[in-house]
Amino acid sequence: MAIESAVKRIGVLTSGGDAPGMNAAIRGVVRTCECLDIECIGIRHGYAGLISGDFISLNQSMVKGITVRGGTILCTARSKEFTTPEGLQKAADICRHMGIEGLVVIGGDGTFRGALALSQHDISVVGIPCTIDNDIGCTTYTIGFDTACNTAIDAVDRLNDTMQSHERCSVVEVMGRHAGHLALAVGIATGATIILVPEVEYDFDKDVIERIRTARLAGRNNFAVIVAEGAEPAYGVAEKIADATGIETRLTALGHIQRGGSPHVRDRIVGTSMGFKAVSLLASGKKSRIIAMRGDKFIDIDIVEALSLTKNFDFEMYKAFSALTFLDKQALLRTF
Ligand code: F6P
């Protein structure tokens, strides 16, 4: 990188659903700006705030101690106006008017689609993937996923205690929007009986009811079914299980609990690192990039390419989980 930064003033915003670790990313951005003598403007309420000029000047004292906090100090929103040609034009005009030479956007795929639209209006943008869903194609990891998994795991562990005492079946709905990554991780980590995800087709009678009956005949007397919200409504799953098996069944939708809380170590470190990397990309004159992880490495890729990629579901892991849960040797051997 040249000694002089290519940008003198940048903006940072968080958009879409919040995720633990967003604050670490903001702090990484602000402190890197401070180091490089770049002015940092915080844009509150995502793209809506960009359009309405909801700006706040950020410095290192304003981000002191925020790494430990869940949510986002900049607040977040999903803006309808920004998706219109007029709203987009207004946002780009405001960036130019305010002398914002680069924009760091922290969020999920909706946020990145907004960033792409802005880049087509000649605004330099860098995206930081941040969503508990871990559903962004270009990166193996999105900030917030680990903390959300741990929050959900803690809840399911507690539910398992009481299900075991009462010999009941617990149906737990976890978030993930259209993806089952969170459900798969939570199900495996808690030793669930069954995991239902949108990526894997299932026959309810065969793959849920029959399996619970078989497990009961083998001596099991409490069950946990993890349902990704994108698979099917969890209340229906609970009803069908209770009706077909006669087992007392309780439903818990974990909901927004999964989005809050103090970020775990991975989200603090990845958030901080990506915040640093975003500013260093803008400072070295790069534009239209998304930061991504491949294994433990941080890379950056063109935003158009990033948005063309879809995230693979870990079918191998899913199959191995099912085989191990039901001690199905043939199914397990097929995963080798
Ligand atoms: O994308 C993150 C996420 O938490 C999804 O898992 C969920 O479907 C959605 O956001 C919920 O959105 P809202 O906070 O608008 O209800």
132 lines ligand 1 (CB under 6 A): yes
Place of tokens 């559903």: 135
Cα(177) to centroid(ligand 1), Å: 6
pLDDT in tens, 13-62: 999 999 999 999 999 999 999 999 999 999 999 999 999 999 999 999 99
Ligand 1 mean position, distance from CA 17 (Å): 6
What's CA 258's distance to the chain center, in Å? Answer: 10
d(C-alpha 319, C-alpha 28), whole Å? 39
Is the CB of residue 20 below 6 angstroms from any atom belonging to ligand 1?
Answer: no
- How far from 59 is each of 8, 64, 100, 104, CA to CA, in Å? 14, 9, 16, 15
The residue whose CA has the least distance to atom 8 of ligand 1 is 177
The 10s digit of each residue's pLDDT in 92-102 is 999 999 999 99
Ligand 1 closest atom vs CA 132:
2
d(CA 49, CA 30): 18
pLDDT of 1 reads 54
CA dist list (Å): 248 to 1, 153, 225, 243, 274: 63, 22, 13, 9, 46
Question: Rounded to the nearest whole angstrom, what is the distance from the C-alpha of residue 246 to the centroid of ligand 1?
Answer: 33
Asked if residue 176 has pLDDT above 80, the reply is yes
Question: Phi and psi (nearest 5°) for 253?
Answer: -100, 115
User: Residue 283 is encoded by which pair of tokens?
Assistant: 């400072």
Residue 268 has pLDDT above 90, yes or no: yes
**Stated pTM of the model:** 0.96
Pocket of ligand 1 contains residue 230 by CB under 6 Å: no
Q: Is 177 in the pocket of ligand 1 (CB under 6 A)?
A: yes
Grade residue 307 by pLDDT with cuts at 50, 70 and 90: very high
CA of 90 to the centre of ligand 1 (A): 27
259 CB near ligand 1 (under 6 Å): yes
